[in-house]
Structure 1
Amino acid sequence: MKVVQEQKQECQKYESTPKFPIFNQMIVISNIVYEGLAVDAVRYLSPEHMSGWWLTTDLYDDNVESLMTVHYHHVAFIRPELIKYFALPYGYRFNITGKEQDVWFDENAIK
């Protein structure tokens, strides 16, 4: 329940309607996301089995073949500090660097 409330609060900050991912949906991640590095994230319109979230680190080299598709729940358990952002709707981005966070809507992400 706490997770859902945090997700709703994060969406309220940006005057957006929550679009909750389903626990068995997939997320695209780059190497080292699980290791706790800073994360750049964007949520694209996606097929139903995908959450739409793509998470990369500064070490991502723009090689899409190096990306992995993993279940949402794996990311939720390994990087719980990111969960509160996952209900932000399609088109949102966030960047988390230590205690600093930046969240914004990117119209180009939904085109």
Structure 2
Amino acid sequence: MQNDSSEICRRFGTDYMPPDLGEKVGIALGTLGNVPLHAVRLRPENGTCGWYIYCGEYSTDDDFYQPLHVEHLAERCPEIVPYLALPPGWRVLLAPNYEDVWFDGDISTASDHTEPS
């Protein structure tokens, strides 16, 4: 993960802040395989690294996201792994032959897992 993640951070001119493998992400496991992949990093807290990931359509259901340790992302959602060192406030949108990565200042200090507007 080190080389790909550090290159992504260099490419976007931001700090390198990789999560610990034992930290958790919020991931909508039931959406994996849908397109596009959406990911946002909020402020880490309470054992989470701040990443929330889903594919396809967002849902406001209370059980939309499930916790998953970072170390399991390589097998469950490998396409997001190179982006995990982006700091809080960054968003990623991936689809076949498409990548959009940007800093969203409105969410850089947010701490809940709702989809910011």
Q: TM-score, normalised by structure 2?
A: 0.83
Give the distance between the partners of 1:65 and 1:81, measured in 2 at CA.
23
> What per-residue deviation string (whole Å, max 9, x for no partner) do you get for residues 29-86 of structure 1?
1143443642111000021511110001223322232211111112222222211100
In structure 1, the gaps of 5 or more residues are: none
Question: What does residue 24 of structure 1 align with?
Answer: 22
Question: What does residue 67 of structure 1 align with?
Answer: 65
Q: CA RMSD of the aligned region, Å?
A: 1.6
Give the distance between the partners of 1:32 and 1:97, measured in 2 at CA.
17
Alignment of 1:1-111 (within 5 A): 3-35=1-33, 37-47=35-45, 49-111=47-109
Flag as ranges the 4+ runs of structure 1 deviating above 6 A. none
The number of aligned residues is 109
Contact 1:36 1:79 in 2 (8 A): no
Q: Which has the higher helix share?
A: 1
Q: Larger deviation: 56-65 or 16-25?
A: 56-65
Identity rate, percent: 23
Give the distance between the partners of 2:63 and 2:34, measured in 1 at CA.
21
Contact 2:34 2:56 in 1 (8 A): no
Contact 1:33 1:55 in 2 (8 A): no
Q: TM-score, normalised by structure 1?
A: 0.87
Aligned residue identity for 1:41 = A
| SS state at 2:33 partner | coil
Cα 1:63–1:34 shift into 2, 3 Å: same
* Aligned-residue offset at 1:110: 1.8
| SS state at 2:38 partner | strand
Contact 1:95 1:101 in 2 (8 A): yes
Give the distance between the partners of 2:62 and 2:38, measured in 1 at CA.
15
